[in-house]
Amino acid sequence: MNRSQFELAKPILERLIQHGYEAYFVGGSVRDFIMNRPIHDVDMTTNATPDEIETLFEHTIPIGKEHGTINVVWNHENYEVTTFRAEAEYVDHRRPTEVYFVRDLYQDVERRDFTMNAIAMDIHYQRIDHFEGERDIEQRMIRTVGDAKTRFDEDALRILRGLRFKSQLGFTIEDATFEAMSHQMADLEYLSIERIMNELRLLVNGAYIAETLPLLHSLQMWRYIPYFRDIDVETMVLNTPIDIESFLAILSYRTDHQAFKPLKLSNVQVRTIQTLVSAIQSAQTIATRTQLQQFVYDFGIDVALKINALRPVLEDNQIHIASPVILNGAIIQNVWSDLPIQSRQDLAIDGQLLMQAFQLKGGPWIKEVLRRVECAVIQRQVNNQTEAIIEWVRTHVKIS
């Protein structure tokens, strides 16, 4: 097992302990460590209060101080150190109204979602496992800490997290946990779309998405999430993990539904999805090398390769792009490096030069002519040289 990340963070726990506090590693990193999976964030928990944590370390950032989380910057790395806390009353099936700090580790792990996420580990790699999380990891089982119904009632995001962990880890959801999940799916309606999308992003990209997606369909999960509730997601098949933008692109292509607004995606995400949708469309009509050149030029190498990589998923969903004889990774690379220009910036002419050459004012004609020129250059009907292009335009394009 790879201890290196814990070793790097260990001095933080040691300093807390030297000052008389209890301090442990906890959460996803301990779970992943036990499973011998790659560890990302090493999270720590302590009975020191946020103020006390701040006085012990030179460089801290109060990222979630009111909830007990302080970022400790150690050797240029950020570590989240969270005070043992319990959660007061929940309203509206999401996040507690109040948290309060406690001095006892048990209370802290008791409020965590699943047994596999409630294991603490000390600096000697000894585990404190109040809810038999290690047994559940061994049995590959997702089980809530305490009564599933109550825990999902408190925070419906846990339902989605449970499904997300199934998709990432391939575990079975324990019976009572699954039973509660299936009865409480409708509570997803209480959650903010940001929290939902964050889980969905991880979920569709999970190694075990192939077996998890049918489960989501049968739980009728999509009925409770904006955007998805309006379209047919149930017929979607995923045999391999996929990024959320590709997932949404395929869905919106299939259903012709691009009203993503309720999902509160970033502008970059929306643009990525729109590009993918038009690339999926174009990739179906490529039949010649010229068309392939145009496709690779219009979308760029990265999108072209991505569409090619998505081929199996597209096929599984009855979208048939050009055959691998015409469209494959090697040919795309080849076409790309052979292109006389790779973007409009490479063109030896621009709007200014056109206006001068033809003694005309600016207007929509410029855009049209530039597009014609672009295509002609790519198809090697004209060399990418200013004079040659002007001459070609004179003889080939009727400027209106």
Residue numbers in the known binding site are 28, 31, 41, 43, 112, 155, 158, 161, 164
Smaller CB separation from ligand ATP, 41 or 153: 41
Q: For the CB of residue 113, give the shortest distance to Mg ion in the complex, in Å.
A: 12
Smaller CB separation from Mg ion, 171 or 178: 171
Smaller CB separation from ligand ATP, 118 or 348: 118
* Non-local CB neighbours of 13 within 8 Å, separated by 6+ positions: 23, 24, 25, 44, 46, 122, 123
Residues 292-351 that bind ligand ATP (CB under 6 A): none
Among 34, 99, 141, 157, binds ligand ATP (CB under 6 A): 157
Q: For the CB of residue 114, give the shortest distance to ligand ATP in the complex, in Å.
A: 7
Residues 103-142 that bind ligand ATP (CB under 6 A): 112-113, 117-118
Q: Does 28 bind ligand ATP (CB under 6 A)?
A: yes
Please identify the residue of the shown chain whose CB is closest to the bound ligand ATP: 28
Cβ 393 vs Cβ 369: under 8 Å: yes
Smaller CB separation from ligand ATP, 178 or 297: 178
Smaller CB separation from Mg ion, 28 or 96: 28
Give binding residues for Mg(2+) as ranges.
41, 43
Residues that bind Mg ion (CB under 5 A): 28, 41
Partner that binds at residue 252, options Mg ion, ligand ATP, none, CB closer than 5 to 8 Å by kind = none
Q: For the CB of residue 27, give the shortest distance to ligand ATP in the complex, in Å.
A: 3
Q: Say how far apart CA 141 and CA 116 lie, in whole Å.
A: 8
Q: Does 155 bind ligand ATP (CB under 6 A)?
A: yes
Q: Does 43 bind ligand ATP (CB under 6 A)?
A: yes
Q: For the CB of residue 110, give the shortest distance to ligand ATP in the complex, in Å.
A: 10
Distances (CA, A) of 295 to 84, 171, 304, 330, 361: 55, 41, 8, 15, 31
Cβ 159 vs Cβ 178: under 8 Å: no
Smaller CB separation from ligand ATP, 136 or 155: 155
Give binding residues for CTP as ranges.
28, 31, 112, 155, 158, 161, 164
* Non-local CB neighbours of 214 within 8 Å, separated by 6+ positions: none
Q: At 148, which helix (H) or strand (E)?
A: helix 148-154
Please identify the residue of the shown chain whose CB is closest to the bound Mg ion: 28
Give binding residues for ATP as ranges.
28, 31, 112, 155, 158, 161, 164
Residue 240 tokens read as 């391999």
Smaller CB separation from Mg ion, 73 or 237: 73
Q: Say how far apart CA 182 and CA 291 lie, in whole Å.
A: 49
Partner that binds at residue 113, options ligand ATP, Mg ion, none, CB closer than 5 to 8 Å by kind = ligand ATP
How many of the chain's residues bind ligand ATP (CB under 6 A)?
11
Q: Say how far apart CA 84 and CA 101 lie, in whole Å.
A: 6
Query: What one-character-per-residue DSSP string does 353-391 give?
Result: HHHHHHT---SHHHHHHHHHHHHHHHTTSS-S-HHHHHH
Q: For the CB of residue 43, give the shortest distance to ligand ATP in the complex, in Å.
A: 6
Q: Does 27 bind ligand ATP (CB under 6 A)?
A: yes
Q: Say how far apart CA 370 and CA 303 lie, in whole Å.
A: 23
Query: What one-character-per-residue DSSP string does 58-88 give?
Result: SSEEEEEGGGTEEEEEETTEEEEEEE-EEE-
Residues 158-177 that bind ligand ATP (CB under 6 A): 158
Task: Give 43's strand partners.
Answer: 26
Report the half-sphere exposure of 190 (CA within 13 A, side-chain side): 19
Residue 30 burial (CB count, 10 A): 28
Q: Say how far apart CA 198 and CA 191 lie, in whole Å.
A: 12
- Residues in contact with ligand ATP by the rule CB under 6 A: 27-28, 41, 43, 112-113, 117-118, 155, 157-158
